[in-house]
Structures are given as C-alpha cells and as structure tokens.
Structure 1
Amino acid sequence: MLNSAAGSRLENLWDDQKASGMSEPELLLYRSNLLGSDKRITNYGGGNTSAKVFQKDPLIGDEVEVLWVKGSGGDVGTIEMDGFATLYMEKLRALKGLYRGLEFEDEMVGYLPHCTFNLNPRAASIDTPLHAYVPMPHVDHMHPDAIIAIAAAADSRELTREIFGEDIGWLPWKRPGYELGLWLEKFCEANPQARGVVLESHGLFTWADTAKECYETTLEIINKAIGWFEDKTAGTNAFGGARFNALPPVERRDIAASLMPAIRGMISGKQHMVGHFDDSDAVLEFVNSNDMEALAALGTSCPDHFLRTKIRPLVVDFDPGNPDIQATLSGLGEAVETYRDDYAAYYARCKYDNSPALRDPNAVVYLVPGVGMITFAKDKATARISGEFYTNAINVMRGASSVSTYCGLREQEAFDIEYWLLEEAKLQRMPNPKSLAGRIALVTGGAGGIGSATAERFLREGACVVLADIDKEALAAAAHNLSGRYSKDVVRAVTMDVTSEDAVAESFSRAALEFGGVDILVSNAGIASSAPIEETTLDLWNRNLSILSTGYFLVSRAAFQVLKTQGLGGSIVFIGSKNGLAASPGASAYCTAKASELHLARCLALEGAPEGIRVNVVNPDAVLRGSKIWSGNWLKERAEAYGKDTSELEEHYRQRSLLKRSVLPEDIAEASYFFASDVSSKSTGNIINVDAGNVQSFTR
C-alpha cells in the first residue's frame, strides 16, 4: 500500500455547484486547494498548479494571455489568490531568444520579474517555465507517493509504459529549471496524445483543457498507479519483512522522550532545534524491517523530499528486543559525530569552487527501531513537515522496492540541489529569526492571567510553549485561544499538579516528546490565602507551602534534569510576590511560602551557573485583572485586611504604589520575557519587582 488509507482510492471532491460561476483564476485556486488537501497527492509546499488565462492588459486594454502559477514558496493546499504569480505568456515565450544554454539556465530566473503581469508582487518560482511551455491551458505538477515510487524505480521508464501505455510519457531525471521546461514543451509537441508525463526521481505532470478535467486527470492517473501497486504487491512483505517488533505505545513514547533532549543538545550548536516524534504505522513498519538500514542509506529520490530530510537519516543504535536506553544514550554522541563527519565528506566530494559554505551537518531524521522516527528542525512546523516528507519517502521506497529496485537520487545530483545557488539565494532572503526562535518554554499556572500572558509573550517571539495547569477547563480554553492565534504546532497543554512528583515528571516528558526538551521554565502556579495567625490552620499552612514552595522545587528539579541533559543552558523564572520581601497583615502562610521561593531561586542560581542555567525572580504585586487567585476568597480577605470594599481594592493598591499605576498580567509577562531571553544572558540570582513601586519591597 502506498497511502495513508490502505486499499483506498483518491476521492473526486470536485463540486460543480460550488465551481459554477467561478472565474478561471478562481477555478485554479479551487483545484489547487483540493489537490493539496490530501498528502497522497502532494506534500506540504510540494508541487504546483497553473492556468493560462486571457485577461485585459491594464496598460493597453487588449486581451492578453496570462500565466497564473503558484508563486515561490507557496503551498497548494492553503494557497489563496495572492499566492499566485502572474506573468505575460508572450514575454515568457520571448525568453527563449535569450536562453544561452544549459550552463547559463540559472540566469533565466532573473528575467522572470520582467514578465510580471499587473505589477503582481508575488515572486515566480523556478518551476514557472515548466508550466509556461506545456502547450495546454491547465497544468498540474504533483508529487504523489504512488507515482514517485515508479519514478524512483531502476526500471522507471518500463514501468511507466506498462502501467499507462501511451497515455502518460516519461522523461529522465533533470533538475527543475529552464531546460526542463523546454524538455516538457518538446515532449508535448512529439506526443500530442499524452495527458501527462512521469519525471524520473521527481513526480508527475498532467494537463488538460479545463480546470475540472485537469483535476480529474491527476486523480485518475494517481489512482491507476495505486491500483497497479496493490495488485502487484498483494500478499508480499514490504521492506524484506519484519526484523523487530514495535514496543508498546507508552514505552515507545518514554524512550523517545529520553532520546530527544539528548539529541537536541548535540545538534543545537548553531541554533536551538525543535523536535517532532512520529510512531505511525507506516513509520513503524519501516524502522522495524530487515531492509531499513540499506534503504535508508540510499537517501530519498524526489528533490522536495531531499531538501526537507537531508542526504540520508541517522539510524539510532537501539535493539527493541533487548532495550537498553542508557547504552543507546551513551553511544549517541559518537553516532552524531560520525554522521557529521560523513556529511562533511559528502560536501567535500561534491562541492564546486563557488558552492555556498557547508551548512549544518547534523541529521534531520533519526530512525529508532521499535520506537519510531524523530525529526529536528529550526521550528516545530518544519520538524513536523520534515517527518511528513520522510514518511512520503518511506511510501516511495516501499513501492519501488516491492516491484523493482529502489534508486535514491545520485549523490552529485542531490548536492547540486541542496547547494544550488538559487536555493542559497532563497535562504539568504529569509527573515532573521525571532529572539526566542527554537526555544521551548514550560509555564506552570499557564491557564491564569499571568501564565497565559507570559505564554503569549513568548509565542510572539517565536517560542514553543507548553501550558501546564491543574484546572483542565481553563487550560483547554487558554490553549485553544493561543493555538488559534499562533498555530497548533507551537502550543501544547498538560494537566499538572505541581505538588505531584509523577505529574511533574510526566509533564516534562510530554514537553520532550512534543518539542524535544525545555529551555525556559516559568514557575507561576499559585494560590493565595489570608487569615490571622491564630486562625491559620495547619492544612492552610501546608497547602501554601506545598504549592508555592514544594511545587516550585519539584518543577525546578525536573527542569534542571532536562536542561543538564541538553547542555544548552537555560532560564528559570519564578513568579514570586511582593509578599516574599515585604510582610502583609493576615497572610503569614502565603508570605512565608513566597519568601521560600526567593531563597530557593538564589540556591538554584548557584547550582545552575556552571551549566549556564540562569534562575531569576519576577515579583508582582496586586495583579487583579485576569488573575485566578483573585477569583476566590482572596479578594474579599485582602479587602477586609485593609478595611476596604472589594470594589475599592484595585484603587487602593494603585494609590499605595509610588507610581500610582495598576499592574497588569502583561507587565509580568514582559519581565518574564526579559529573564527568559538572551538580553538578560548575564543575569542570574536577580529579582525584578513589577509592583508600580513599593518601598517596603525594595531589594536594597
């Protein structure tokens, strides 16, 4: 099987009623989104679509032929109208007169902006000539697993003929670019009956007169390939059969959570990496197979797969039949170093005088027998998508090796794509990373006002955030809110009772599994109580100390364990209180517990410094708005302590402050961000009071 739904065919989702009345560009968008909605058709960011449309020239008023084609860097599944480049077909055809041959094909990219129609700012992609020179109104270029399995087989040409006859042609490998566009044009002229072509080690082109016919042709060809493979491979064992059995799900995840911080620490020398774990059926079948190591060493075939997954994966030395995680961890460093050396040797063998400098030599994909696949990249979305691309590559290897011999992309060809000067130029145009890019934060009390505001501040700076809270309902609401505004990729929620060792350990394990580790801990979970000393029960006293002192100890201890495993330093921020420095009437349990937080932070700052782990404290005061601790009896109790009505308390606190200002959750978040970010890289053991000025809590 070559798809995520075994034995299934792609469903025709075209809705004539919905498409009725759409313009040609709108039909192109509709078709593109339908095609991109199924990873069996193309992966994220892969493939492209186009339509040749007659439109009125805004300058001369005449009807001219315009190529609408997916712009550079877009994704057909999520593209909108502004994601298409538009170019004059007349000017694109005129480029043929400027072409100086294969040696100079890269310079043709520089001419594409001169062909822009209607001042469209969307940059045209390198694939533009491939669509322009196919002499049909509508063109799809997709990367279906079933087709690439044919394209990556040793006898790819013969298989294409066997399956499709004269209906679909075949072209040998050619790097995407201007020359391939001319090849496609020549093929179409020589084979007018063909409805498409398989590109060796690359993918599928199909074309038609209408948007609907083009969409249906693409689905028909892919479904035909899926059916052919199912018939050919029925009853056979993929990848040479199973060598290992998959471990139980909980054990798989525990092992991945142990491996990921260690790997992350080894590969984050230039920038902090974020991880993703996948133990889907397709992945487990591959990593547990007899042929996995031999096939993995061959690398991927499709250029889109390769650019996301590097030359080849790193196979982790782990025996699920005799699991010894400590032995695996002990050998990881040497394995990672060997991979780096091999990658540097590959670069040295293949580079040219003008090649870009050696990039990050670490693996992207890590295959663990019995466990699954781990991927690392500069952010969570890229790590996840890299895993999806390698799953596509697994599907391709399954198909090709089942009916023929699988062929990865030749090493020099792979290098020529990875270190292509045009690809380097694209990388150089990428914006600078945000200040917390690649960082992973865990925020306790994450559902409250201060916790959620802090999480949002970190997300705004590019961090991944794990929200931890004991209140499941509020936690779900906070996570839903932040995920909706910053994407599901970067927000996770874990139910955590900070007084439970098991709950704390499970939460940090979940952070490691979801993102690869932790860099920032904001210890913010809290309660508040108020009672005269003679009315302070032992239960009340213990509850304050349990949450505000023991809870801070437990999450800090867990954070230290992960941070030391990674070896990347880190930042721990305690959300303390003015009451940790200044006494308040009728709150001895709360004030004592908060004072213990301050001294714990100082102790941890001493222990963490040799490891680059910074520990600092933010002391709020009177953060009423959005704070959960003010939703219970605390509001009434503090008002009574000061002889005020509850409605007067905020104004009381404001007037009590030196600056006569209210303190908001966002103010505490800003101070937490300061301590979490590199701008405070030389600060540890410090306290910032965010209280609008309270002379009693001056630290000196």
Structure 2
Amino acid sequence: MSDAGQRLLEDRWDDAKAASLDEPGLLLYRSNLLGADKRITNYGGGNTSAKVTARDPLTGRDVEVLWVKGSGGDVGTIRLDGFATLYMDKLRQLHDIYRGPDHEDEMVGYLPHCTFALNARAASIDTPLHAYLPFRHVDHMHPDAVIAVAATRNSREITKAIYGDEIGWLPWRRPGFELGLMLSRFARENPDAKGVVLESHGLFTWGEDAKSCYETTLRIINKAIAWFDAQTAGRAPFGGAAVESLAPEARRAFAARLMPEIRARIGADERKVGHFDDGAAVLQFVNSREFRSLAALGTSCPDHFLRTKIRPLVLEFDPATGSVDAVLGGLDAAVAAYRTDYEAYYERSKHPDSPAVRDGNAVVYLVPGVGMITFARDKATARIAGEFYVNAINVMRGASAVDTYVGLPEQEAFDIEYWLLEEAKLQRMPKPKGLAGRVALVTGGAGGIGRAVAGRLMAEGACVVLADIDAEALTRTEAEFAKAYGRDQVRAVTLDVTREDAVIAGFAEAVTEFGGLDILVSNAGIASSEPVETTSVAMWDRNMDILAKGYFLVSREAFRLMRVQKLGGALVFVASKNGLAASPNASAYCTAKAAEIHLARCLALEGADAGIRVNVVNPDAVLRGSKIWTGEWREQRAAAYKMSGDELEDHYRKRSMLKRSVLPEDIAEATYFLASDLSAKSTGNILNVDAGNAQSFTR
C-alpha cells in the first residue's frame, strides 16, 4: 500500500506486565499500545472500552460498569482518569426513552444520568457504540489500511473479499445512538463475526478479554495491509510522479518564504501557528499525477476532516520551472477563492439551526515539489492536522490503487462539521491564553534572564524559539522546556547575533518551525569592566558587536517578517540601567547599552505605521542565574566597588531605593507585559526594573 504500510503491525503485548493489572488497568494498557502507532489510529481518534464488574458505592452490590474513552481523549496518551464510567443497566434503560433517529442527539444529554461513582469525565457520543455490543472488550480504531477499504466505491465487496464472514460491513452512519443499535443488531445476527468495517469511517473489533481483543485488532489490520500489498505490488502510487521534489534545503527555504505570507492572509481575526511537513508520504502525493483530482475529493473519515476541513488548498507550482515569487503572486487569489468556496459549501449545506459559519480559511496547504503546510490556533493543532492529512493520503493511496476513492458526501461532511453536539464541545473549550497563537524568539534564551522570559511567554501560550550561541546550554534548556510545556511549544536555534548570515538563517529556521514571528526579545549579552585607558579595541568592538550590532541585526529580521505578515508585532529590548546611568570602569558596556536604548527609540518610530511596538526593559544587577555574572564581570565589578564578589548582591540590594534584589523572573514579568496586548498602546517606552535607582530615572 505504501512504504510505511508494507510493514505489518507488531504485537507488543507483554504478558508479564499484563498479569499485574486489573481490568481497568488492562484497558488502559491496551489503549496505549494501540494509540502508539498512528497507522492504527490518529491522535484523538477511535476509542476503546471494557465492561467491568465493580462494587456499587450506593448498594454495596456488584454491578456491570462500562469503562469507555471519555470525550476529547486520545487513546495513545490516555490515563485512567480519561475514561468515562457508566452503569450498564442504566445505559440499557435508555432504549425505553429513545424516540428514533430524528431525535438521537438528545440521547447524549441522558448519558450523565448513567455515570458511575460520580466520575467527572464526560462520556463521548461514541458511548452507545460500545455499550450495546454484547462483548466485554471493544476497540474502535481508524487504521489507514482499513479506512482505505471503507473509502472505496465498492467497500462492501472488498471487505468481503479480504475477510469473508469474519468481518462485517455497515453503511455510513454518523456516530450516535442509532449506529450503536445498528452494531448491536449486526452482532446478534452474526455471532461468529469478530468485527465490522464502517463505511467511510473505520473499524470495530471485539473480544472477551483485553489480550484477545488487542490481538484481533492487530490481526484484522494486518490482513488489510497484506491484501493491499499483494494487490498493489509493482504499481506506482497515485499514477506515478508528475514532478520531482526540490532539494531538502530548497524546500525549507520555500516554506520560510511562503508561511509568513499565508499567515498574513489568514491571521487577522485569529493568530495562527504553522507546521511544515515534507516527509516521503507527503511528497509522493503532491508530486503525483492524480494529486489534484484526489485532493479535490476531500477526506473520507470524519475525524480527518474535523481537523483538516473537508479539502486542502492546492498552491500551483512547477518545481522545474517555477519560483516562490510566482506562487506568492497568486496567493491572494488562491486564498480568496478557497474562502468563497467554503462559504458556498456552508450556504448549500446549512440547516435552520446550524451554527454560524466558522473560519473559512484552509487548514492544509499543498505545494508540488515542496510539501504540506498546516495552520491552526496553536502548534499542536497544526501538527496534528498535518498528521491527519497524512492518514488521509495513506487512505487515498490504498483506495485509489484498488478501486475508486470516495470522499464523504458533502452534506454528510457538513453535518459532522457543524453538528450541534460538536459545536457544544467547541464552546466548552477553555478560553485561549493571552499569547495563544503568538510566536516569540528570545536571544540569549539559554541564560538566566532569557530562560525566565521564555518560560513566562510559554506559560501564556506563546510558542518560543530559544536562540543562543551556547549550544550545550541551549540543548539542555530546550529539553527542560519541552518537558514542562510540551515539544510543540519550543524550538531552539544556535545563533551568533553578530553574524548577519547566521541571523538570517536562524530566523528562517524559526519561521519554518512555527510559520512566522510576533515577538522578538533581544536579550543576548555580555558585560565587561575596565578603566578606559586600559580598554582594548577588541573589548570595545566585542561590546558593540553583541550589544549594538547584534540588536540591530535581529531587529532588522524581525521587522522584515512583521511587515510581510501585516499583523503588527512587539520587540522588547533587554537593556540595562547602565544605558541611562554611567558606571565607573565600564565605558564600552555602558555605551553599547545606551546604543540599544536609542536604537529602540528609532525603531519605535519606524514600526508604528505597521503596528510594530518597540519597548525596553532596563534591569539592574540581576545576579541570580545570569551567565554574565558567573565570569570575570562579577570580579571586575567587585573590584570597581572595592569589595569581594560574594558581597555584590547585598551591595546592589542595599544600593537600591526599595532595598530589594532584582531577579530574572522580575525581568520576565516586565517583558511579558511589553510583549502582550496588556501594553498594546505603548511603544518607545523604557521600563526600569531595578528596585529604584534615581540615576536611571527616565527624563
């Protein structure tokens, strides 16, 4: 079927581990094993269940309880608290109040009344699909190989050819109470069957214990994989290649140019974060002869198009003769045409009670020879949308190779996308954090102040690129933030801010990872202390290179990006009290810091017309966690004040008007304020965070 699909699924069940688990633990174990392979089910897709005997806390009697994946969960990462638990006897009683297919949505409102043991996890709309099957263990997966069967014009016949009577087939039906009854009826009428393929949807399998259910699921998927391999041996997928890919470096350079331009056109109402994928599966599809016709048909599985919209936006490009500038020249028309098409789809399909039309911009953008770009409200959602579309590509590859691929009918797709129950789920989602959808780059990101700033921005929902010249510290810091906030929210780039080529390349890498830039925190720094008569030209130049030239270079790149995006932006310079107040034996450092402040003022003037704000945070004596205070600077400043290095922090604290030490977290709080919409009407300002120093009062 595909290079990845030809590898059969591996049975990873460990009897020794399973022997130590109770029934809920075995359900969790099985779920995590299945969800770990995206060929079995996509992120958040599918669900698992087990019917468990438990002691009723009210009566003390044993009762049958359905454990089933709760609403919005992911089987690959779920924990026990992610399962809903419901009384089976109460679920069966719902039959008595069911008023038929025209009223099945109302049944979701009865599910909370069936809750066992006050479990707060909401039950999903798929609960009846598990409850009414007469088996203790049930898996509902979205395997690429099986959906490739389900999404063919002759899916019923192909299901029969592969599985005989072992696996049945049911026509498309939206998930809910009626589909649960259809599954129950199928199981009664086909007692020897081990599962069923749902047209345009996925696979149900079952068993009487956790291990046999797991093994059946793997065996049925592997049977489909092997069948496709036999049917498609020697055939070129998607009709063969029509174009060749650009070189890897050229693909990323193309994405770095294109992504901010897309973001400019889709991010005015809600900031979007991007993801770029030029993997083998994507390139095989976008380079193929059948690419455009298949992409236009849309996706088949409901889980796919809920993440990706019903179809992608194809950007025309010939890798052999075209240019990125030509693609950019047609981008306005392409984006506008997609919006118009989406609005027409909404008008054709809407019902009197449908929710208002949502964002009409594409989620998935496909470019021949280059790859796939996805945009969403955060990086994780953009990445997952891309993963879902790769699942859709795998489905189209298999289905089109053996039969005619069929996307879900437009009205059915709309009824899923604008389902009132789906709308209710969207309305329950927590309000986005203050910097959600924003992308920040922090220079000196592996140092004390830089780390604190990056952490503060990530805590408010921003994606952050850590830039630092210290590769070892950068790797360590990135790993710590990935553990704390998730891999999707942080990237790192080794960057020497004094080198023009390195700055340009570093910003391009940041853009390829996240799609653009909203916030620049220019914080990379050094410090030096020397009487002027012994200050060398090398010391002077080093201060100017890092603290003046470096700030200029990163600001210039930020301005270039922000003007392309047309979404405004915020630059925050981390300068120093020394930029306003002179200090003895530090002429090079003080002069360079003064240059930073004046550069910020100049840029505030230049950026105002584009909504680009530029402000300054002026720290003083931030010793804790600061890399510049771990070397000669500490001893040099101590010598200037005729004291030991250990006395410096207490000296600076007592010198301040408020008699308080200044910490990296204090600088981070000020930086967040100036980078966020809390200061949306402030530019050209200086915020001193120095515990009070009369010499540095701004005038």
TM-score (ref. length: structure 2): 0.99
Read off the aligned partner of 2:343 and give its amino acid letter.
A
In structure 1, the partner of 2:635 is 636
Q: CA deviation at 1:323?
A: 2.9
The aligned residue for residue 127 of structure 1 is 126
Residue 592 (structure 2) aligns with: 593
1:625-674 residue CA offsets vs partner (Å, 9 max, x unmatched): 01111111100010111111111111111111100000000000000000
Identify the residue that residue 314 of structure 1 maps to in structure 2: 313
Matched-pair contact (CA < 8 Å) for 1:202–1:301: yes
Contact 1:2/1:146, CA 8 A, preserved across alignment? no
Q: Which residue does the alignment assign to 2:615?
A: 616
Partner of 1:295: 294
Between the aligned residues of both structures, percent identity stands at 70
1:154 lines up with 2:153 in the alignment: yes
One-letter amino acid of the counterpart of residue 666, structure 1: E
Partner AA of 2:237 in structure 1: A
- Which residue does the alignment assign to 2:397? 398
1:670 alignment partner in structure 2: 669
Q: Which residue of the partner structure matches residue 362 of structure 1?
A: 361
Is the 1:3–1:395 contact (alpha carbons within 8 Å) kept by the matching residues of 2? no
Q: Does 1:679 align with 2:693?
A: no
* Equivalent residue, structure 1, for 2:495: 496
Matches within 5 A, 1:22-61: 22-61=21-60
What amino acid is aligned across from residue 597 of structure 1 in structure 2? E
Secondary structure in 1 matching 2:358: coil
Post-superposition CA distance 1:335-380 (Å, at most 9, x none) = 1011001100000000011100000000000001000000001100
Q: Distance in 1 between matches of 2:319 and 2:560?
A: 25
Shift of residue 698, structure 1, vs aligned partner: 0.2
Query: Would the aligned equivalents of 1:2 and 1:226 in 2 still touch at CA under 8 Å?
Result: no
Cα shift at 1:480: 1.1
Residue in 1 that maps onto 2:477: 478
Aligned ranges for residues 260-339 of structure 1 at < 5 Å? Answer: 260-339=259-338
> Matches of 1:21 and 1:622 in 2, distance apart?
56
- Secondary structure of the corresponding residue to residue 516 of structure 2: coil
Change (3 A) 1:247 1:606: same
Equivalence for 1:434 = 433
For residue 595 of structure 1, report the CA deviation from its aligned partner: 0.4
Tell me which amino acid in the other structure corresponds to 1:288.
Answer: N
* Offset, 1:3: 6.4
Moved segments of 4+, more than 4 Å: none
- Structure 1 equivalent of residue 12 of structure 2: 13
| Pairwise CA distance, 1:414 | 0.2
Letter paired with 2:107: M
Distance 1:331 1:22 in 2: 58
1:70–1:83: 8 Å Cα contact kept in structure 2?
yes
Count of aligned pairs: 699
Question: Which range moved further: 262-271 or 163-172?
Answer: 262-271
Structure 2 distance, partners of 1:319, 1:684, is 44
Query: Normalising to structure 1: TM-score of the pair?
Result: 0.99
Who is 1:538 aligned against?
Answer: 537
User: Residue in 2 aligned with 1:553?
Assistant: 552
Specify the SS of the correspondent of 1:28: helix
What is the Cα deviation at residue 607 of structure 1? 0.6
- Structure 1 residue 23: Cα displacement: 1.2
Cα RMSD of the aligned pairs, angstroms, is 0.7
Query: Contact conserved, 1:2 with 1:396, CA < 8 A, in 2?
Result: no
> Partners in 1 of 2:180 and 2:261 — Cα distance?
46
3-state SS, counterpart of residue 42 of structure 1: coil
Q: Which whole-Å CA distance do the structure 2 matches of 1:208 and 1:453 have between them?
A: 52
SS in 1 for 2:274: strand
Q: Which residue of 1 aligns with 2:142?
A: 143
Contact map agreement 1:470 1:497 (CA 8 A) in 2: yes
Task: Give the CA deviation at 1:2.
Answer: 4.1
Indicate the residue corresponding to 2:112 in structure 1: 113
Equivalences for residues 437-586 of structure 1 within 5 A: 437-586=436-585
User: Residues 492-514 of structure 1: CA distance to partner in whole angstroms, max 9, x if unpaired?
Assistant: 01000000011101111011100
- Distance in structure 1 (CA, Å) of the matches to 2:309 and 2:416: 11
Distance, in Å, in 2 between the alignment partners of 1:411 and 1:269 is 28
Deviation at 1:487, TM superposition (A): 0.6
Which sections of structure 1, spanning at least 5 residues, go unmatched?
A: none
Distance in 2, matches of 1:338 and 1:203, equals 32
Q: What residue identity is the alignment partner of 2:634? A: L
1:375 partnered with 2:374: yes
Maintained 8 Å contact 1:3/1:40: no
Q: Which amino acid aligns with 1:504?
A: V
How far the C-alpha of 1:7 sits from its partner, in A, is 2.4
In the alignment, the residues of structure 2 paired with residue 511 and residue 368 of structure 1 have an alpha-carbon distance, to the nearest angstrom, of 20
Distance apart, 1:270 and its partner CA = 1.6
| Partner Cα separation in structure 2 for residue 372 and residue 604 of structure 1 | 36
In the alignment, what sits opposite 2:194? Answer: 195
Please give the alpha-carbon distance, in whole angstroms, between the structure 1 residues aligned to 2:487 and 2:269. 26
Partner Cα separation in structure 1 for residue 502 and residue 162 of structure 2: 55
Q: Which amino acid counterpart does residue 695 of structure 2 have in structure 1?
A: Q
Residue identity matched to 1:187: F
User: Cα deviations across residues 97-126 of structure 1 (Å, max 9, x unaligned)?
Assistant: 100011110000000000001111110000
Q: How far apart are residue 21 of structure 1 and its match? A: 3.4
1:126-173 alpha-carbon deviations (Å, 9 max, x no partner): 000000001111100000000000000000000000000000000000
Question: Given residue 324 of structure 1, which amino acid in structure 2 is its aligned partner?
Answer: S
Contact kept? 1:245, 1:370, Cα under 8 Å:
yes
SS of residue matched to 1:443: strand
Aligned residues of 1:2 and 1:145 also touching (Cα < 8 A): no
Provide, for residues 198-240 of structure 1, a one-character-per-residue CA deviation record: whole Å limited to 9, x for no partner: 0000000001111100000000000000000000000011111
C-alpha distance in structure 1 between counterparts of 2:556 and 2:580, whole Å:
24
Separation of aligned partners in 1, 2:392 and 2:550? 45
Counterpart-to-counterpart distance in 1, 2:33 and 2:430: 30
Contact 1:3–1:145 (CA under 8 A) maintained in structure 2? no
Q: Secondary structure at the match of 2:330?
A: helix
Letter in 2 for 1:301: S
Alignment of 1:343-358 (within 5 A): 343-358=342-357
Q: Would you say the 8 A contact 1:582–1:696 is kept in 2?
A: yes
Cα distance in 2 for residues equivalent to 1:3 and 1:132: 37
2:385 alignment partner in structure 1:
386
**Counterpart of 1:193 in 2: which secondary structure?**
coil
- Secondary structure at 1:699 match in 2: coil
Q: In 1, distance between residues paired with 2:630 and 2:322?
A: 49
Q: Aligned partners of 2:22, 2:649: CA distance in 1, in Å?
A: 58
Counterpart CA distance in 1 for 2:81 and 2:551 is 49
Aligned letter for 1:388? E
Provide the C-alpha distance between the structure 2 equivalents of 1:143 and 1:360, rounded to a whole number of angstroms. 27
Structure-1 separation of matches of 2:691 and 2:321: 60
Aligned pair 1:251/2:250, yes or no? yes
